[in-house]
Chain A
Amino acid sequence: MQQTRSVELGTGLFVLLGLAALFFLTTQTTGSDTFSGKDSFKVSARFENVGSLKDRAPVAMAGVTIGRVVSVRFDPEQLNAEVIFEIDSQYKQIPDDSDASILTAGLLGSQYIGLQAGGSEEYLQEGSEILFTQSAIVIENLIGKYLFKQGADSSEEEEEEEE
């Protein structure tokens, strides 16, 4: 009897410790952030190029996460990308002429949507669409442009020298 009691005690301790560790892993090591996604409203925006924006990417305003991207899809009719994201419903007073741009966290970080407040008296609500958007900056394109410009400059110089 004494022995089974100590076995049960040991097992109980072990399972409790294991569950505590699991709980720690699921809550403390991932970014649950401040946004839980319970009470939220959905807003959409269209971008020429979303870069590598993914589902569940953060939506931030003034650097604070206020929502998450729900879906990114290609619209075959308008030939651009439609991004739907949800914003925590405690932020009801975001002007509806705010503009959305796709930004990168750090030089090589993941991409997120940044909102810039506009000046309208009307506020964003469920189903509204953000009209002013700015596409993701694709680093390859920037480098391409820079190199092209360099090439053009140097060939012009050569031409001038020849003259």
Chain B
Amino acid sequence: MFRDLYLTFKEFLRTFGAMQLFFLRLLSNSPSIFVKRFNLVVQQVYNAGALSLVIIMVCGLFVGGVLGLQGHANLSKFNAEDSVGTFAAFSLIKELGPVITALLFAGRAGTALASEIGLMKATDQLSAMEMMAINPLRRVLVPRFLGGVIAMPLLVAVFTVIGLFGAHLVGVTLLGVDAGAFWQQMQSTLEMGDIYEGIVKSIVFGIVASLYAVWEGYNAVPTAEGVGRATTRTVVLTAIAVLILDFMITAVSI
């Protein structure tokens, strides 16, 4: 039994280490690909970002709306309905924006990346590239990784702003909070540091979500079942990593 435990631990360490090395290889290849093969990166920003816009915007609107409803319901007990804007902005900018976007991103773009790369591997397209002396890491993986990293902060910003308008829609238009108080209280309470925190989170989550998607796809067992499993693992691992990192970044920045 101890031997099993030892082997499992060793295997975990090995995978963990391999992933760090893989990340370093991606990073070291990123600048040259970004400059030389910019069109590939643009294509992936489109796949990961522009195609995720609809789900991000719809979810953002409703998350903001719920914050408006809940905030109003609870704050009105203290006659503090005017703080709905502050409440919604704080939750959206610091926590919900980055976290929910990262989870949606893993579900929408991460799975697409992992299954695409996994299928390329299963149908020997990656080996074919190697035969033609094309490095699949540079040609396939790095542009997808970069696309995700670039798209994520922008998606978070879109989500947050749409969420604020959702909160405005519910709080001001539906429940009758004064529009001036809504924005004024928000502006006087929020500081630049809060927004930086959100931006830092979105960048970190972008790197993590893209890295996991690319890694899982690249290391998928090249069978139909393996690709399916890689897709699932992408979502699960990204969700766990994002929530743990969220806690850590928040703990550091307070």
Contact = CB atoms under 8 A, between A and B. Distances in A.
Interface stretch (A11-19, A89-97, A125-133): A11-19
B161 A31 contact: no
A64 interface: no
B45 interface: yes
State the 5 A-B residue pairs at the shortest beta-carbon distance, nearest first. Answer: A18-B154, A21-B157, A14-B50, A21-B161, A31-B187
A69 to B, nearest CB: 13
A15 B51 CA distance: 12
Interface residues of A, number: 22
A98 B150 CA distance: 52
Given A11-B46, A25-B93, A30 B155 contact: no
A28 B192 CA distance: 11
Contacts, number: 81
Interface in B2-61: 39, 42-43, 45-46, 49-51, 53
Contacts of A32: 187
22 contacts: A7-B42, A8-B46, A10-B50, A11-B42, A13-B50, A14-B45, A18-B49, A18-B151, A18-B155, A18-B157, A21-B158, A24-B161, A25-B93, A25-B161, A25-B198, A26-B192, A29-B89, A29-B186, A30-B187, A30-B194, A31-B188, A31-B190
Contact of A19 (B46, B154, B155, B190): B154
A120 to B, nearest CB: 32
Interface string B59-93: 00000000000000000000000000000010001
Interface of B: 39, 42-43, 45-46, 49-51, 53, 89, 93, 151, 153-155, 157-158, 160-162, 164, 183, 186-192, 194-195, 198-199
A18 B194 CA distance: 18
Contacts of B188: 31
B46 A14 contact: yes
Contacts of B154: 14-15, 17-19, 21-22
A29 B157 contact: no
A31 B151 CA distance: 27
B117 to A, nearest CB: 19
A73 interface: no
A149 interface: no
A145 to B, nearest CB: 28
A6 B195 CA distance: 33
Nearest to B186: A29
A16 to B, nearest CB: 9
B53 A17 contact: yes
Contacts of B162: 21
A7 B195 contact: no
